[in-house]
Amino acid sequence: MKIAVLFTELDDHSSVDDQDVLAQVEAVSQSIRELGFLPEATPISLDLKSAFARFKEFRPDFVFNLVESLGGVGRFPHFVPTILDFLNIPYSGGSSFCIYQTTDKVLTKKLLLQAGIKTPGWWSPKMSAGPPFPPPYIIKPAWEDASVGIDAGSVINEAGLLQESLQRRMNRYGECFVEAFIPGREFNISMLASAEEPEVLPPAEMLFINFPQGKPEIVDYAAKWDESSFEFVNTVRTFKFSERDAPLLAQLEEISRRCWHLFECRGYVRVDFRVDRVGQPWVLEVNVNPCISPDSGFVAALNSAGYSYTQMVERILRASGLNVNKQ
């Protein structure tokens, strides 16, 4: 059986977060081989006509979808499963509709609120004259992931500074929105498909070590991708909690399961939270098909649960309807 390991085509201008997909391709391909299938690394670009032609010629039996952006733009990943649906080729992870809904961060927030799930307040220039909530604010690109466009300057503490900063970031990253910044703790909850309910992997908290006063405690682009930066070195993931955190962790697990069902997720998902000073959780994002490079947060949670990488890939394949009989 042929399995296309699909990823974003790279070029000399590809960013470090886009290049990380190569580590995912290598790791996923190795696991696919261990499971007795034949992987083929398959790049895809915004040239969708060529993509159609290639799929029709290659005609894989299954696609492991690792595409998080196309043409360096984060708002197009739902194009890929849409093409696969049209060609009747089964694939891993989220559906085209699920990916579209969760890639549009503002739409995600609207759907969360409709379902009674708390998410920080937001505002965009398409709405009223200004945010209906006080600072601090955080400015985020509306369609990007991997913390693209997020840095210390994204957090605005004075209302009078918002418009200029927002315009500057929109000029660079396109459509942006303003979110109420939640001072407090940050958590990631990873989930992996199982026979019935998704399995919630061990919860992770992001610790901000030795951050000077006034420096926003956020997981920004540098914290994820710039290994020489203060943010990368001093933003530390932990899976260790005290007993007093047990009720909070149970609440985060319950909310994460609700997010899974709300967006009809499958395969693997990570939900990002802020928890405010009084212990109230707020959902920041629902990350469908999150990064699964060997050094990613999702794989760290997987390892903490005692699973191997290949066991993860097998579970993702099974959740997508592929008959896996390890040879």
Q: What is the mean pLDDT of residues 17-37?
A: 96
Do residues 95 and 86 make contact, with C-beta atoms less than 8 angstroms apart? Answer: no
Q: Spell out the domain ranges in the chain.
A: 2-91, 101-118+183-203+239-319, 122-180
Confidence grade of residue 126 (pLDDT, cut at 50, 70, 90): confident
Confidence grade of residue 107 (pLDDT, cut at 50, 70, 90): very high
Burial of 238 (0-12, 13-18, 19+ CB in 10 A): exposed
Whether pLDDT at 250 is above 50: yes
Whether pLDDT at 289 is above 80: yes
Q: What is the mean pLDDT of residues 127-154?
A: 92
Architecture of the structural domain at 101-118+183-203+239-319: 2-Layer Sandwich (3.30)
Among the residues of 91-154, which ranges form H helices? 96-103, 105-114
So what's the pLDDT on residue 128?
A: 75
Which segment of 4-13, 50-59, 205-214, 290-299 scores lowest on mean pLDDT?
Answer: 50-59
Cα pseudo-dihedral 123, 259, 70, 169, rounded to 10: 20
In this structure, what token pair is assigned to residue 216? 């926003």
Coil, strand, or helix at residue 300? helix
Coil, strand, or helix at residue 18? helix
What average pLDDT does the chain have? 94
* Its pTM surpasses 0.85: yes
Q: What is the mean pLDDT of residues 132-145?
A: 94
What is the DSSP secondary-structure string of 48-83?
HHHHHHHHHHH--SEEEE----BTTBTT-TTHHHHH
Whether pLDDT at 46 is above 80: yes
Q: What is the mean pLDDT of residues 79-96?
A: 94
Q: What is the mean pLDDT of residues 67-72?
A: 87
Distance of CA 141 to the CA centre of its chain: 14
In this structure, what token pair is assigned to residue 225? 């991708």
Domain 122-180 has CATH 3.30.1490: yes
Which segment of 142-151, 202-211, 262-271 scores lowest on mean pLDDT?
Answer: 142-151
Which segment of 12-16, 96-100, 141-145 scores lowest on mean pLDDT?
Answer: 12-16
Domain 2-91 has CATH 3.40.50.620: no
Crossing angle between the packed helical segments 79-86 and 48-58, to the nearest 10 degrees: 40
Q: pLDDT tens, 184-239?
A: 999 999 999 998 899 999 999 999 999 999 999 999 999 999 999 999 999 999 99
Confidence grade of residue 326 (pLDDT, cut at 50, 70, 90): low
Confidence grade of residue 327 (pLDDT, cut at 50, 70, 90): very low
So what's the pLDDT on residue 322?
A: 85
So what's the pLDDT on residue 159?
A: 94
So what's the pLDDT on residue 14?
A: 87
So what's the pLDDT on residue 181?
A: 98
User: How many angstroms separate the CA atoms of 138 and 178, rounded?
Assistant: 6
Give per-residue burial for 244-263: e unless 16+ CB within 10 Å, then b. ebeebbeebbebbbbbbebb
Instruction: Give which of 307, 56, 26, 98 is closest to 192, Cα–Cα.
Output: 307
Compare 55 and 133 and report the one with higher pLDDT. 133
Instruction: Give which of 297, 119, 102, 312 is closest to 202, Cα–Cα.
Output: 297
